[in-house]
Every structure is written in structure tokens, then in C-alpha cells.
């Protein structure tokens, strides 16, 4: 085990263990030509809040340490929301060095603007490539207590933090109407996620706890059915990757569908946090 690492392995042999099954995931891979990497894009015309929002998703990593086929090691981007089509008013959610946003590494980090100003990074390093992590990020950025403004939870447990500048932020400017990207930096220029994603849920305008999306059962962190009980907000979306021909389909009811790029039907895979149960 690496520093501060914890992960979820699907439990097998108990058909009824999982109350909710995630039947598939989407594979985000890389290519020796950076522009051919897998990613999703969506332009939002309305976003309710850059202050209160929640992101919850399951991830299984395929590459660590920033390795990529198109060049030397880089940070690997999970999610890049930005205001309009700006090249600077944006946020990156990525795997990076815990102390330097422009350096390869395996900490979870959010940076503000393309200058890599760190908002919050973990001391935990996520280097396991055989198990699934549930990442939960909740924002309540007008909270008067700095430690409550922005939180990361991994499999239901709050992360330990390395670089912490939460107190300097009352909003994240990239969480705004504009062009958003999952699986790469917006320029698609060599920061490929190289992971599997399952049950990706973004909530616009509400700060939810991790227990809304998953729960502990016999010491195992397992997913919940998100089909009801969540107020998604204007930019809210739920990507279940159920349709191999339409991997960006939004199942929240908002019809906030994403465009899949360099992702054929073979990018839907039968591997998930509940696989084999």
C-alpha cells in the first residue's frame, strides 16, 4: 500500500450483497497522438452555482505517475470546467503532485486558472490500478469555516490534505456556463485521464454528503441508486454509460447529454465497483 491509500475491491460470491448494481463503466484511454485520447465535452448555457455543488464518481485508474504515450509524464486531468471558452477562467480536477499543479503525481487536486494555483490537494496518493475508488467532492464555498468550504471524501472517509488554500475561495470560477471537459484538459493536449469511470454524478446548486451517493455495508463502501431523491440543478447530470453507442447520455432527467470523443462502443466495459457480485 502507498502513502495514505485506500480503495474498494468489488465483493464477489454474495449475489445479494449490493443493493444497487453498476453494470458497466466507460474507459478513457490515451494515444501516442494527444488529440486522439478519449474525452467527453459539454457546453452548458446555465449553471446555478459556483459556490454550492457536488461531484461524486467511481474511478479505477489505468496509469499512475502521469505516464502517457504521447510524451513525458504530465498531470492527468479528470475534469476541466471553464467559463465560456476561456483559456484561463477555469478549474482543473486532476491527479498531480500534492505540492505542484504542473507536476506529475498521484494526489487529487483542484487548481484555479491555468496558472495552477492550488485550491486543495490531498496527502493521499492514489496508485492502485486494480480496485475502484469512490471520489466525492462537496463545495459549500460561502461557509465561514475554512475546513467546511471544500471537502474530498474517498470511499466515504475524508481525505487528508497537503496544500490547503480553501480559505482564499468563495467560489470556483470555472463552475460556470461554458465548455466543460471530462477525461482531459480542455485543449486535449496531453493530460489524458487513462482510467475507467462509473456512475459520474454532478449536482449543481446543492451541497450533498457522500452518504447520498453511497453507503457502508459490512465495512465495504457500496454505491446507491441515484434515480430519485437528488435535486440536480440546471447543470446537474448523471452519466451511467449504459448505452455503448451514446456514452455521454445523461440519466438525471435533465438531458444534459455529453459528446463522446474518440470513444467507440468498445469503450463501454463490463468492469465496475460491483462487478463480479
**What is 168-232 written as a DSSP string?**
G-S--TTSSSEEEEESS-TT-SS----EEEEEEEEEES----GGGTEEEETTEEEE---SSS---
Mean pLDDT, range 12-34, rounded to an integer: 86
User: Residue 5 pLDDT more than 70?
Assistant: no
**Would you state the pLDDT for residue 276?**
56
What's the pLDDT score for residue 277? 46
Q: Please tell me the predicted confidence (pLDDT) of residue 114.
A: 84
How does pLDDT run across 221-247, given as a tens digit for each residue? 999 999 999 999 999 999 999 999 999
pLDDT value for 171? 98
Stretch 45-60: mean pLDDT: 98
Q: Can you tell me the mean pLDDT for 110-120?
A: 94
Mean per-residue pLDDT, 157-173:
98
Provide the pLDDT for residue 13: 47
Residue 9 has a pLDDT of: 58
What is the enclosing helix (H) or strand (E) of 148? helix 146-149
Q: What is the mean pLDDT of residues 100-107?
A: 96
Question: What is the DSSP pairing of strand 91-96 with strand 220-223?
Answer: unpaired
Mean pLDDT of 42-49: 98
Amino acid at each position: 500500500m502507498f502513502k495514505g491509500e485506500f480503495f474498494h475491491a468489488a465483493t464477489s460470491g454474495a449475489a445479494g450483497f449490493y443493493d444497487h448494481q453498476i453494470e458497466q463503466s466507460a474507459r478513457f484511454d490515451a494515444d501516442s497522438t494527444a488529440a486522439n485520447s478519449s474525452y467527453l465535452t459539454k457546453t452548458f448555457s446555465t449553471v446555478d452555482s459556483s459556490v454550492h455543488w457536488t461531484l461524486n464518481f467511481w474511478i479505477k485508474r489505468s496509469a499512475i505517475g502521469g505516464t502517457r504515450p504521447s510524451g513525458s509524464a504530465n498531470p492527468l486531468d479528470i475534469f476541466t470546467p471553464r467559463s465560456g471558452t476561456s483559456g484561463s477562467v477555469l478549474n482543473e480536477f486532476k491527479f498531480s503532485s500534492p505540492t505542484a499543479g504542473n507536476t506529475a503525481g498521484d494526489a487529487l487536486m483542484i487548481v484555479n486558472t491555468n496558472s495552477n494555483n492550488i485550491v486543495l490537494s490531498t496527502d493521499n496518493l492514489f496508485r492502485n490500478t486494480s480496485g475502484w475508488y469512490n471520489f466525492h467532492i462537496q463545495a459549500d464555498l460561502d461557509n465561514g469555516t475554512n475546513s467546511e468550504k471544500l471537502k474530498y471524501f474517498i470511499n466515504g472517509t475524508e481525505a487528508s490534505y497537503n496544500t490547503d488554500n480553501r480559505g482564499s475561495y468563495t467560489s470556483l470560477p470555472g463552475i460556470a456556463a461554458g465548455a466543460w471537459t471530462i477525461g482531459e484538459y480542455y485543449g486535449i493536449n496531453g493530460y489524458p485521464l487513462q482510467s475507467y469511470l462509473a456512475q459520474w454524478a454532478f449536482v449543481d446548486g446543492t451541497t450533498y454528503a457522500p452518504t447520498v451517493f453511497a453507503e457502508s455495508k459490512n465495512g465495504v463502501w457500496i454505491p446507491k441508486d441515484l434515480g430519485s431523491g437528488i435535486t440536480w440543478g440546471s447543470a446537474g447530470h448523471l452519466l451511467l454509460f449504459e448505452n455503448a453507442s451514446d456514452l455521454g447520455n445523461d440519466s438525471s432527467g435533465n438531458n444534459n447529454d455529453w459528446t463522446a470523443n474518440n470513444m467507440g462502443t468498445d469503450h463501454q466495459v463490463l468492469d465496475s465497483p460491483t462487478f463480479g457480485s
